[in-house]
Amino acid sequence: MKPPRTQGASGEGLERRRPTINDVARLAGVSKKTVSRVINGSPFVRADTRERIEAVIAETGYAPDPQARGLAFRRSFLIGLIYDNPNPQYVVNMQNGLLDGMRGSGFELVVHPCERGDPNVLPEIRAFIERQKLFGVVLTPSVSEDDRIAELMDEIGCEYVRVASVPLDEPEHMIETKDRLGGLEAARHLIALGHRRLAFISGPPTFRSSHERLGGFEDGLAEAGLALDPRHVAEGAYTFESGIAAARALLALDRRPTAIFAGNDEMAAGVLQAAREAGLSVPGDLSVVGFDDFQIASRIWPALTTIRTPTREIGRLAAEKLMGREDERRDPKQRLPSLVVRESSGPVPK
Amino acid sequence: MKPPRTQGASGEGLERRRPTINDVARLAGVSKKTVSRVINGSPFVRADTRERIEAVIAETGYAPDPQARGLAFRRSFLIGLIYDNPNPQYVVNMQNGLLDGMRGSGFELVVHPCERGDPNVLPEIRAFIERQKLFGVVLTPSVSEDDRIAELMDEIGCEYVRVASVPLDEPEHMIETKDRLGGLEAARHLIALGHRRLAFISGPPTFRSSHERLGGFEDGLAEAGLALDPRHVAEGAYTFESGIAAARALLALDRRPTAIFAGNDEMAAGVLQAAREAGLSVPGDLSVVGFDDFQIASRIWPALTTIRTPTREIGRLAAEKLMGREDERRDPKQRLPSLVVRESSGPVPK
DNA sequence: CTGAAAGCGCTTACAG
DNA sequence: CTGAAAGCGCTTACAG
């Protein structure tokens, strides 16, 4: 590995060195240990000493070096996002949420995609975390659903928060997305429109959300005294292509469904495609509901009725939980899935 | 700021300490300085000494602590991605490309969105880089087009690579995306289909790519002895909504264009929407070409003819250039924009 | 080609 | 409530 160029090597000789803890200590007339206490919020500093130090910090623009601090703490100020979700919109929303939550904290976000199927994930993740001595990680589906990864975090002493549709861990390690409620909302919406022959396209069985979204949908049917016809449940893979394939099969049935709830927007876009091929109008002949409310939902035609998941908000909460700054006063409803009605759903055809 | 829990505090007492440079030095019977030389690829180590040390490193699984190394080097092993592009697909493709290029290098990727308009961007970026002592940063449009940011990097001694549609800097700091060639391809394609009344919807004027894509389009028209009617150039903002608005205006003209080249896929999706509203069939009455070939291009209907930009590949190149590992043997064509023909373009209507 | 000393900028025990 | 010493795991001059 090529050693990096020394900082300032190309600078213009000004060499206005950043102040260190020693400078602050000298200017404030205290030991660096006391400055350290102020930085770390120790209560064992007299009020006037603290104020004097804080004044010097403000004047000099001193900011502690995270690397030096990390070396002494045996732990960095980096937070990792470990994910295997291939949807770019999900990834970016989650990142933005995490950054929202981390703003002003001095922590930085390091992104780390992985492949859950890979036999090397575990050692690979371990090496990443140990090398960088990560403060903590946020795990998103489906890696978040792997208990071995959570155990690994405990073992190596790395904080973690798992984002998942159901509680898989202690509350301090969990942010629940409650996908089941989203499925319920979808069912209620379609039933209120008069639909009785409903179908579901699931994500891959390796994602917990696939089962939760289906479960919630069935809950909603049960409320109306209905049950899902097993022939009306198709397995997809959360991809556009799998949505097309599943919808083709459903629409070829003898008494085809009048409404399809797809496990995500990508597959719902595939359903619209299959409906078009079959000469069916949406929502005239077929209602379609998606899940996520990513950008694609409002770019396709007809615009998709879908379940919005507040991914960015979830990310913010995850970061706050990880850093122990959770703000419990916030409205907990903000983090629940909610129905967004657009053009792809309508009354059941006569 | 709450100090982090000490590493291993929750571990199960095993405390199998990671080996340090001292362990390696002791086991190899050399000084730690010599181990350091091996780590840093110094040529001043005798071959047999080097081999002995490398053997110990392999046995013990030693990996140098990036934090300690960074502290001594006065520079971290972090690479920053600084961006203000709001398109999630762009961001994720770029990140994936950077990670491709960084794999196995020991560097990690820290993401840092910013807002170019914000009067505080410069100090904010400076604080971020100085605090973390970033090894280097990759800048993407439109922040990459701001010379003040490049100057800032020079001033604080941070490596940088700018990704932009045209050379704005020395070659060692530039990855060119040559958007102009993409515009040219779009024009040639439409002209070959017989179109003569062509229109363009630009991105915001603050993005260099807006002008380059237009410029290339005009180059293509010029090849055929044509010129763009000024009334056929509309200004958009690279957003879906702006694409709808611009297309509505173009389609309301007396002699409306038979083909529209939109500056990106998002706006092209808006054009399809406006065409539908106007009762025009695509490509029967109107051909549409986009730019980017993001996922949306193949999810909408009709699927979009567009210009593919190899963003992930560009990202890989940017990372390699930043780390001084550039592989010049690679086919340079891979990084150029290229035409992808789908369903939204067809022969000019009679 | 190799090493002993000093230092990077912080924090942790340990005293007082 | 405050501080002097030692240490986190590396690298940089400086010798030899």
User: What confidence tens digit (pLDDT) does each residue in A16-58 have?
Assistant: 678 889 888 888 888 888 888 988 888 888 888 888 888 899 9
Under 8 Å between Cβ of B247 and B236: no
- For residue A336, is pLDDT > 90? yes
> How far, in Å, CA of A326 to CA of A66, rounded?
23
Under 8 Å between Cβ of A209 and A143: no
> Residues 68-127 of A near strand D (Cβ < 7 Å)?
68, 71-72, 74
Tell me the average pLDDT of chain B: 91
Task: Please tell me which residue lies nearest to nucleotide D7, judged from CA to C1'.
Answer: A72
Q: Which of A73-77, A310-314, B90-94, B314-318 has the lowest average pLDDT?
A: A73-77
Give the three-state DSSP class for A209. helix
Residue that wins the pLDDT comparison between A264 and A329: A264
Phi and psi angles of residue A134, each rounded to the nearest 5 degrees, phi first: -55, 140
Minimal Cα–Cα distance from B222 to chain A, Å?
A: 33
> How far, in Å, CA of B173 to CA of B326, rounded?
12
Contacts for B17 with CB less than 8 Å, ≥ 6 apart: none
pLDDT digits (tens, 9 = 90+) for A252-288: 999 999 999 999 999 999 999 999 999 999 999 999 9
**Cβ of residue B7 near strand C, that is under 7 Å?**
no
| CA–C1' gap, B68 and D7, in angstroms | 13
- Count H helices, E strands: chain B? 13, 11
Which nucleotide across the nucleic acid strands is nearest to A25, CA versus C1'? D3
Task: Please tell me which residue lies nearest to nucleotide D3, judged from CA to C1'.
Answer: A31
Question: CB of A134 within 8 Å of any CB in chain B?
Answer: no
Domain edges within chain A: 9-69, 72-177+312-329, 179-310
> How far, in Å, CA of B228 to CA of B63, rounded?
60
Domain B9-69, CATH 3.60.110.10 — does that match?
A: no
pLDDT above 70: percentage of residues in chain A: 93
pLDDT digits (tens, 9 = 90+) for B256-273: 999 999 999 999 999 999
| CA–C1' gap, A70 and C11, in angstroms | 9
| pLDDT for position B7 | 39
Domains B9-69 and B179-310 share a fold: no
> How far, in Å, CA of A321 to CA of B6, rounded?
18
**Which parts of chain B have pLDDT scores under 50?**
1-15
Chain B residues lying within 8 Å of A295, measured CB to CB: 88, 240, 296
CATH H superfamily, domain A179-310:
Response regulator (3.40.50.2300)
CATH assignment of B72-177+312-329, among 3.40.50.360, 3.40.1380.10, 3.40.50.2300, 1.10.10.10: 3.40.50.2300
Under 8 Å between Cβ of B214 and B200: yes
> How far, in Å, CA of A136 to CA of A154, rounded?
11
How many residues belong to chain A? 350
